[in-house]
Structure 1
Amino acid sequence: MNFNDVSERYSKFLIAVRFSNHDYFTVFGTDKTAGDVDKLLVDEAGNLLLFTTRSELSFFIEKSDNLFDIKHTKEWACSIQETIEAYYVLDLDIFKLSLDIDNEDMFDTLYTTIGIVEDYARQVNNKSLLTIFNSAAMLTFYDEMSDYFLWAKTDILSTTVDLAYLAQQFGLIYKLLECNIKVSGKIY
């Protein structure tokens, strides 16, 4: 059984995370013990846990008792090898870039990244992040991106939300994440 099959079986996925111009690893998946809610690996304080290598991640999962869907996450982690490709690259640094509405790849990455970071905010009940994600501007932006990337209701990538305002909100999201990320034993 290849690793993608293992990931699908356990609904756990190796995610590469680009943060502060470095690449890290974590797990993202469905918590089958809590109503099939998508979650990321966090510590008791709600910090997003990132690891510099796949083997560090696997070792942490093996030794930890504070995991979502602990049984399936531990079984999944037994299959991690250092050469396995990440299922997805979560680019948190995209929140720091200048927005270019003509750059479809940028907005596709933003769309997916917002969804995963919002899952994290809900998982740990981060009220500051949730306030941003639940704002009228962000809900409008996300709906417009869904119409383009997910539902194909339009063939023109556009938003009615002011790009300067969005850039400001994305910068704030990045700053809030910086305070809630723990990389292999150190907090940013």
Structure 2
Amino acid sequence: MTFDALDANGSTVIWANHQRIRTQVIPVMAPGASVAVGNSLALEERAGDQIVSMKVTMRTDQWLAAGTGTDGLGDVTTTLVAGSGKRLPDGNGSVAYTVESRACAAMVSRGVSMVFRSGSGQLIGGTLHNGPEPSACEPAKSDAISTNTGQPGVPADADLNRTMVTVYCDFDRPQRHPASAVPYN
């Protein structure tokens, strides 16, 4: 999935150094599941009030049959720990969550995605913490794990108890440095 912010001419206003982190992989998503897909990207100075649209491009590489946990592709669910969210004055923050994996094999984390909502439920932002969470994708249920947000990406009016969190679990994690249009996670 690739994110972009566009001006009236249809040109990107995402800062050049952040072009390489616009694309992310949602590795395993069960049929009918909902996942948090968030990202926080810096804008060019000229952007100001010039953003007129957002563009999200999705690409599907492969559809797999739903698993039951006995065949390797059981659900991985992430649950926010109520009251755990913290936001600092500079916009950085953290949330705690638990993860339950019904997969029969250990997977690796490709990051933790968060989507933020206001007190009224309006979608107001998101972020991807790209650091691997070592135990998050192992079979069974993990204790609460706390993840910091990436950039100062927690909006001031975010109701952190409404945050949707998804741990991206996969069978492999790329070991290369990201380039534009290559997945960041």
TM above 0.5: no
Q: Please identify which structure carries the higher helix content.
A: 1
Q: TM-score, normalised by structure 2?
A: 0.23
Normalized per residue, the structure richer in strand is 2
